[in-house]
Amino acid sequence: MNLDLLPIRTGGAAENMAVDFLLLQRYPQAAVPRFRHYGWRGPAFTFGYSQKIAFVRGALPPGGIVDVCRRPTGGGIVDHRDDWTYALVIPRGHPLEDVRATQSYREVHECLAAALQRQGVSAAAKKACEPAADGAACGPSGVCFQRAELYDVVHTGSGEKIAGAAQKRNKHGLLFQGSIWRPAVGAPLDWERFHADFAALLGAVLGGEAVQTPWPELNEDEVSGLTEQYSSTEWIEAR
């Protein structure tokens, strides 16, 4: 089964989260895995679906104006000001969607580590700690990149965390939202080459090839409506 490799887009925090969720819910080729890397319109932070807004506010940088949004997935607070962000959707019924959260987490992050290794980065999926309760990519602090958990991508020598992610499963499949903290990579990287390598490795794991695919014809009213919902005080301050 091939992997649809979608064009790169840039958006605000609520728009990016809305599009990721709609790629899970409304993708026209429902049985096909899809992958996208995307950018941020300005300084942005996202935080996990179950996190308390009071904790999030206390962890944000003081005095700065940032775009903040609650994610549809779990995990902790992610600083997107200098990261490389992606989303992967694996449809319901695919073997990788059907495994436990720790297994899908490991497989995706082993592909990511292998793509970094192709450019000389000593990276690997961490294999010696207990997973977070929701299979997410942050430690007990609730702030991602402060501590590496099971199958996060780390430097093999120092153990410093390079990449983490969070997952959501529903009747449509699995949404995997991931982030690489660029400063933690520790070496100049050709990010275009990394993008191609990572997608190709994911395609192979999913049983096919990564194929450049036009942007799907999502319902623009639905995109706008969900973006508005994710921008609302009710969504951001739900907990």
Tens digits of per-residue pLDDT, 138-158?
A: 444 565 555 678 899 999 988
Q: What is the pTM of this model?
A: 0.90
Total count of domains within the chain: 1
CA distance 74 to 193: 29
Enclosing domain of residue 14: 3-236
Domain containing 65 — which CATH number? 3.30.930.10
Q: What is the tens place of the pLDDT at every residue in 33-76?
A: 999 999 999 999 999 999 999 999 898 888 777 899 999 999 99
User: Active-site residue 144, yes or no?
Assistant: yes
Mean pLDDT of the chain, nearest integer:
90
DSSP letter string, 211-236 = EE-PPP---HHHHHHHHHHHHSHHHH
pLDDT lower than 50: segments of the chain: 130-140
CA distance 217 to 45: 27
Helix (H, G, I), strand (E, B) or coil at 109: helix
